[in-house]
Structure 1
């Protein structure tokens, strides 16, 4: 079970999981913090695109954990060979493997703890996770290149009769499948009944939706009695809740999709952002900056490009599932837009500024 053929089979499965996880994670990072040249070209469709990509990110990352454990167990005798370096080239190869193993372990376990919203470390998670992803993926590609002759020699199916290897690979496959099936329900609706190990049930929470950041955590448990929505543009205006309710109300069925991997659809109603921009005299190509009532937080201020702001499904939501928003869901008003990470669906909105 420590032979190269076993390592090659596990490496194929693990490589597929890690590359899927890397590409979907890269997409999530670009949606949350796009470079200037890409900001105005991010797609607003499909409307549940982020739900699918981020769900796949967490599913593939979770499945990679038992696969990585099995892969390391298969090759561990070679990890402790003596002498540790027989030549300069061998030393460089060993160093590369050390970086690869360390970055992969850090990547999958910090990602797992992120799904639990538990951060027992002093460094920022998102930036560290992003750069570890590049390090692990680069190390993986270099490792495959270095081991290409060995991989090619053991790629095809071996002679029959190796029952021990088959039993081991069957056990690993079963473990990865079990972990996937019992956690994927937080983002895959038809697997929700099997959602036994995931940290979230998407159908549980106030108004039928989970909450990541509560009003108490944001310091916005009660909205000011004189709350008004301020819209700054060529024709600035302020609107009370009664005035907002007198404007045409629209409905959108959109998911909240969070970086932790859970997602849940809801029926939202409110005023289209595009109509508020028109009232403020905004040109068609203008984006909008959204400011929250919360006193502090990395997403208190959010910029929305024009193609999101002008999308007919993008709302300043006042109700969810037919009910007035609770404080935890963003009362008095929140943003809901298609194909956006949950952290950018700003709650407790106080101001819209035409850009």
Structure 2
């Protein structure tokens, strides 16, 4: 068995499979996973804030930037991970599978990292299309898988650190599975056999592929790349009032309630309650701001919103300016039917109960008759089809 598996490993030896190449790909992949992990923690913190969480409202595009980077680096990690697997998989065929405790730890860290990374990237990509063909909750699973990936990545780096240091800047080496030093080419690998790629050509192909998938999808997050957006599920400037929509009024089952003539927004604080009709809201001082709507799936769109400042409604019921709020939608069900708003947002003059979008009355799918729009928040927390605002 050992001779057979080692012969197979030698059969797959190639300049595109070497320790040096794996280290180079690992640097790129490690960077993309690190950025993805940190920006993902920020997004999760905004949605489920710990007690120490800081809520930035300036610049207004902070979440638009971080979540755009999160999704873009996640997409970039897909070809990088596949390339890294290509560079190392002959090593997985060697026998015996576990030679020592340290080798077993190395194998376990690799298996955990590969399995969790493939699941994370696959489900994350599918999530950008708002498709959930699995029975588990995506957001919680995505969050905890990120910690598994990060932990297994650190363990793998610790186990492989001597090799990483040796080949970090190396310009010479042998192909994977080689038993003795081979002649070296200008790109640091064994000369490719006729018809085989050199390591430099392979790295160039990986770089071009990664750049291509980023270039053709990042336009949903960054306006200067919008002309190249060919494959992302959302495109800027589309949808009602030139702004994309994730959840329509029909999906939320609110069309009849939101369109009712007797709709009112109830604002309450302790024993004080004010029910404001749409006409009464329109009679209050109106403010206009350019703010992005940025969704966790990665797409975003900056638009002009006009409406009543939320802090004016808080003052209307005699609540202190430093109050936190609980906002409820007309939606009969859903994870984001109720939303808590930290005082940082409630105090910000740019946080609006929006009544207009891009100079027009809100479209029903954008939250008519009234919705929340605040700087630096995920789109799922910009509650549509408002019903109540409670001062906590």
> Please, what is the CA RMSD of the aligned residues?
1.1
What CA deviation, in whole Å up to 9, does each residue of 1:216-275 have, x standing for no partner?
A: 010011322211110111432111111111100100110000000000001000000000
1:197 counterpart residue number: 231
Rounded to whole Å, the distance in 2 between the matches of 1:289 and 1:297 is 15
Rounded to whole Å, the distance in 2 between the matches of 1:236 and 1:215 is 27
Is 2:8 the counterpart of 1:8?
no
Rounded to whole Å, the distance in 1 between the matches of 2:94 and 2:48 is 43
Structure 1: gaps of 5 or more residues: none
Rounded to whole Å, the distance in 2 between the matches of 1:199 and 1:283 is 42
Residues 267-278 of structure 1 aligned to structure 2 (within 5 Å): 267-278=304-315
CA apart distance, 1:161 = 2.0
Q: TM-score, normalized by length of structure 1?
A: 0.97
Larger radius of gyration: 2
CA apart distance, 1:91 = 1.9
Is 2:127 the counterpart of 1:110?
no
1:303 counterpart residue number: 340
2:151 counterpart residue number: 138
Q: TM-score, normalized by length of structure 2?
A: 0.88
Equivalenced residue count is 353
1:74 counterpart residue number: 87
CA apart distance, 1:87 = 2.2
Q: Secondary structure at the match of 1:147?
A: helix
2:381 counterpart residue number: 344
When structure 1 is superposed on structure 2, of 127-136 and 279-288 the one drifting more is 279-288
Asked if the contact 1:185/1:191 (under 8 Å) is kept, the reply is yes
Rounded to whole Å, the distance in 2 between the matches of 1:269 and 1:284 is 21
CA apart distance, 1:42 = 1.6
Rounded to whole Å, the distance in 2 between the matches of 1:351 and 1:38 is 27
1:54 counterpart residue number: 67
CA apart distance, 1:83 = 1.5
Residues 324-339 of structure 1 aligned to structure 2 (within 5 Å): 324-339=361-376
What CA deviation, in whole Å up to 9, does each residue of 1:54-98 have, x standing for no partner?
A: 000001000000000000000001122222112233222212211
When structure 1 is superposed on structure 2, of 73-82 and 175-184 the one drifting more is 73-82
Rounded to whole Å, the distance in 2 between the matches of 1:157 and 1:47 is 44
2:255 counterpart residue number: 221
1:33 counterpart residue number: 48
Rounded to whole Å, the distance in 1 between the matches of 2:281 and 2:231 is 42
Q: Secondary structure at the match of 2:245?
A: coil
Rounded to whole Å, the distance in 2 between the matches of 1:45 and 1:139 is 35
When structure 1 is superposed on structure 2, of 96-105 and 150-159 the one drifting more is 150-159
Residues 233-252 of structure 1 aligned to structure 2 (within 5 Å): 233-234=269-270, 235-252=272-289
Rounded to whole Å, the distance in 2 between the matches of 1:79 and 1:311 is 55
Residues 178-193 of structure 1 aligned to structure 2 (within 5 Å): 178-193=212-227
Rounded to whole Å, the distance in 1 between the matches of 2:100 and 2:160 is 17
Rounded to whole Å, the distance in 2 between the matches of 1:48 and 1:20 is 18
Equivalent residue for 2:301, pick from 264, 272, 289: 264
Rounded to whole Å, the distance in 2 between the matches of 1:3 and 1:306 is 54
What CA deviation, in whole Å up to 9, does each residue of 1:119-144 have, x standing for no partner?
A: 11110000000000000011111111
CA apart distance, 1:199 = 1.0
2:112 counterpart residue number: 99
Rounded to whole Å, the distance in 1 between the matches of 2:375 and 2:225 is 23
Q: Secondary structure at the match of 1:236?
A: strand
Asked if the contact 2:219/2:232 (under 8 Å) is kept, the reply is yes
Rounded to whole Å, the distance in 2 between the matches of 1:148 and 1:88 is 17
Rounded to whole Å, the distance in 2 between the matches of 1:83 and 1:141 is 25
Structure 2: gaps of 5 or more residues: 1-15, 173-184, 192-197
